[in-house]
Every structure is written in C-alpha cells, then in structure tokens.
Chain A
Amino acid sequence: MGEAIVITSGKGGVGKTTTTANLGTALALLDKKVCLIDTDIGLRNLDVIMGLENRIIYDIVDVVEGRCKVSQALIKDKRFDELALLPAAQTSDKSALNAKAMMEIIEGLKPDYDYILIDCPAGIEQGYRNAVAGADKAIVVTTPEKSSVRDADRIIGLLEQEDIEPPHLIINRIRNHMMKNGDMLAVDEIIQVLSIDLLGIVADDDDVIKAANNGEPVAFQPKASASISYRNIARRILGESVPLQSFDEKPSFMDKIKKALGFKK
C-alpha cells in the first residue's frame, strides 16, 4: 500500500514542482514505484519539467469527469518503468477538481505505487484543498526569504487542521554566501520559527534550471549539488538517516597556495 505525500508551500515560485519532479525521480532511482500527480489545473508545469508534455493524451480532469480511466491518463516515464505522471488539465480551472474525486483517484493508485507525490498549486484556496485532500503526509517547501517563510507558516497552520501527519520541511534555493553574510535567513532561524522537522536543504543551483529546460530533472545528474540534495531527501523519506549537506565550497588551487604561504587563513 502506497503513501501519498503532498508537496506544498503557500507561496508560488519556491520550487514545489521542481521538488516534486526531482523527489519523484530520486525515489524512482532508488527502485520505488512512484506516481506524480499535478493538481495545478490550468497552469500545469510538472509535465514540462519531466519532459513528458507531448505525450499527454488524457488528464486528471478527464478522469474526474469520466472520459477515461486513471490508467489511461497515466503517462509512464520512458526512462523508468517505475515512474508515472498524472498530468493536470491546461484548459479548465481549479473548480474542475474536488476533494472527494482526488481522494478516490489517490486511493485507486495506492495499491500500485509505493509513493504518490502530489504537486500542490500555490495559494490556500480550492486548489490547495484538492491537493491536500487525499494526502497522508505533507512536505512544505520554503526558500530562505521572509515572505516565503511567512507563507510556509500559514500553510503549516492549515495543514495542522487536516487529518495528516505533522509536515516536514525542505528549504530550497539556499545561497550559501548570502546565508553566511546574514543577508538571507539562516536554516536554524527558519526551523526555529516554523518548528517542524527538517527533511532537507537544497542549494540554488544553476543546473536545476538547465535540467528543467531540457525536460530532464536534475536528479538524473549524479554530480550536481541539487541532485545530491534531492537524492538525500529521497533516502530520508525511505527512513535512512543521512547527514545534512554542507554547501561550503572546496578551496581552489590558488586558495591552497595562499594558505600555504600564510596570506589567507
């Protein structure tokens, strides 16, 4: 029996869809059967990031309105057998879905998949309620910015009213030099305010954008910093204990020489 995890944030643009795509990929790389559900009706992105856009025939609204079966709408990822995507509709809006229909779809998928990742739209209205309806667990994504932490706090408050486990936190888009200078909220500070368990931190990595544009989530690239982060988070979801990544850059050759000569500590 699978587990449904909703990935949400409140604020838009913090990386929910990217996180969903990469966690799905990372979990699939660990031989788990994963189904991604895009609930951002009218503004679907997950299929683009996964590079599956041109294979969509039916979408989630077609399923809800009875035009097809769930299995017909699912897109199997050509790179793995274990990864599938249930795309959102681009033509309708959030009201095309409802909580009951979502719960039915998710219950129907649970026997066939280990993890069902639900990509939640921004905001706290109907779209959010649909996405949360069938979830067993929640992951809240935030960036080290005040506005994003504020919205994450709001979402955590709303999630507390739902019948799901206490949410976990992913801090996305960390810029190490800014955090060190104190120009960005520190990880500790964010956790202190939100007081929920930290699932992982992800650096602001250029490779994420490049990979997304190529329709191939960054988690495929074994060496990218963000990829390592997502793979670590996937392992933590599986219950392994993996230490947090350090984003300190390795000293360059010149730094080493300077240090040896005593110019730099």
Chain B
Amino acid sequence: MIWIYCETTKTGTMLKLSNNGMGATKLLMEDSLYIDRDSFKGLKYMAGNKLVTIKGTRDGLTLFLNDQCSWDDILLELEEILSAKHMMQEEHVVSVKVELGNRYITKEQEERLAALIRKYNKLEVGQIVSNVMLRKEALKWKEETDIHLYNKIVRSGQVLQVKGDLLLVGDVNPGGRIIATGNIFVMGNLRGIAHAGFDGNRDAIIAASHMAPSQLRIAEMINRADKMDEEGTPMECGLIDADGEQIIMDRISVISRYRSDLDVFERRIMNG
C-alpha cells in the first residue's frame, strides 16, 4: 500500500508518497514533487469521485474501475488521471492490474483499455479481472473442466468424444474409441482405443478397472499394446512419464505420486 499525502503551499500542491503512513514525511521529502493546479484536477478523482481508484501493491499498481457508471466515463477519467504528469515519475516499468468489479467488457473494449494504459510509457497491462463472465463462456468452461459420465458400451466402430474428463461406466470393445480433452476413467474393460488429452494436454491420464487396450494415446503420443499381455491388467493407469518421452503404465493406487493435482475441485479453481 502506498500512502499519498497532499500539502498545499503558495507555489502549488505537494504530493507525498510513502510505503507506510508513519514515515511519510521523513521518507519522502526528497521524492516529493510539486504539481500545478491543472494536474491536481486529475488527482481529485483519486480522493473524490472515485470512478477510478488506484492502489499500489508490491507487484505494481491496481486500478479499480467503478462498475456502476458508463464505460465512456471510465475511459475519460482514466485518460485524465494517467495523463497527469505525476504518474510518470516512476523509473521502471510498472505492471498494472485492472479490477473491473461486476462489469463485463468485450474484447474490443478490453483492447481499447489496454491501449489507453499502455499509451503512457512505463505502464504495462498485466491482468484484467472481472467478476462476471458470459453464460456461453461459463458453460464452455464448465464443459471443459467437468467429468462427463456415460453409462454405455462403446462398441466396434463407435466413437465417444467429450470435452473435459470422461468417466465411462461400461466397456470399450475392440474397435471402439473414446476421446477426451482431459483424463479418461473407465469403470469396465478397456479393450479399444483411448485418447486422453486430445487437444495436447500431456498431463492427462487414462485409468481403467480392466486395462487391455489395443492402443493408448495421450496428447500426440501413442502406445500400442504388446501382443503378450492381451489378457490385460486390473486397476491400471497410463500416463506420460516424467521425461515426457513415452506412455508408461502403473497401478492406479500409486497415481498420486505422478499427478498430485488430479483432484478435480482444485484443478477447477486453478484453471479459473
């Protein structure tokens, strides 16, 4: 948190910045700067109308944008604040995080906002955060992170494809194929082809209560079953090894050793 003090003198207003309230005067006497009355107009928003609130943190600046007023007002005020000279005194590039509150902005609006902030050198847009998202995006997000439960037999020639994780209660017969962008769990006999991490997620795993696949695929890797173990193995799991060179098989019970973040809830939060 940076504290800002204003002191009016004959020549103008003195602005003091401090990391803590106590040492403000002492610490910042040298860093103090004088600004003229016009510039101070911009400053008044910081204390007064507060459509835009600026907070400094260890990682840089955070802009809190009021979510009740019109977007044009925000941009206008932001421009006024940022164009004020005093904002350019920092020596190094400052990362700015924008908090939109309960406001949804489109991609175009986002770009315009970023361009506006970037216009004043030494400021860089780090993150734009909003509490709201489109229903469409939310559903897509849910689809991609959910476990999709199916209760059926995937027979020869059939393909079952889902976004996110797949939990199949039933068999995959030879010639059948299941595909998921996330992990695959089969409660039954996996005799066909399973493809996890379909769009390139190399952390995806394939687990089956009876593993006898003709092929396992994770991301772009393919593992063909040996002719030897056609019988299959109970409670097994396939994943890409630590070196990322091949798909290895191991017991399901030891899978937490390889993938500690398999818990869906935590993963969802992290993805968010």
Contact = CB atoms under 8 A, between A and B. Distances in A.
A157 B171 contact: no
A150 interface: yes
B126 interface: no
Contacts of B155: 153-154, 156-157, 160
Interface in A145-161: 150-151, 153-154, 156-158, 160
Nearest to B152: A160
A150 B191 contact: no
B201 interface: no
Contact of B171 (A154, A158, A195): A195
Interface string B154-167: 01111000000000
Interface string B135-164: 000000000000000000101111000000
Interface majority SS (helix, strand, loop, mixed), chain B: loop
B42 interface: no
Contacts of A194: 173
Interface string B230-272: 0000000000000000000000000000000000000000000
B174 interface: yes
A151 B174 CA distance: 10
Contacts of A261: none
A150 B174 contact: yes
A158 B171 CA distance: 16
A157 B173 CA distance: 11
Contacts of B157: 153-154, 157-158
Contacts of A153: 155-157, 173-176
Nearest to A195: B153
Q: Which of B158, B173, B176 has the most CB of A within 10 A?
A: B173
A193 interface: yes
A59 B182 CA distance: 55
Q: Which of A153, A160, A192, A195 has the most CB of B within 10 A?
A: A153
Q: Which of B153, B156, B171 has the most CB of A within 10 A?
A: B156
A149 to B, nearest CB: 8
B153 A154 contact: no
B154 to A, nearest CB: 8
Given A153-B155, A160-B155, 8 more contacts: A150-B156, A154-B156, A154-B157, A154-B175, A157-B156, A157-B157, A158-B157, A193-B191
Interface of B: 153, 155-158, 171, 173-176, 189, 191
Interface of A: 150-151, 153-154, 156-158, 160, 192-195
24 contacts: A150-B156, A150-B174, A150-B175, A151-B156, A153-B156, A153-B157, A153-B173, A153-B174, A153-B176, A154-B155, A154-B156, A154-B157, A154-B175, A156-B155, A157-B155, A157-B158, A158-B157, A160-B155, A192-B189, A193-B171, A193-B173, A193-B174, A193-B191, A195-B171
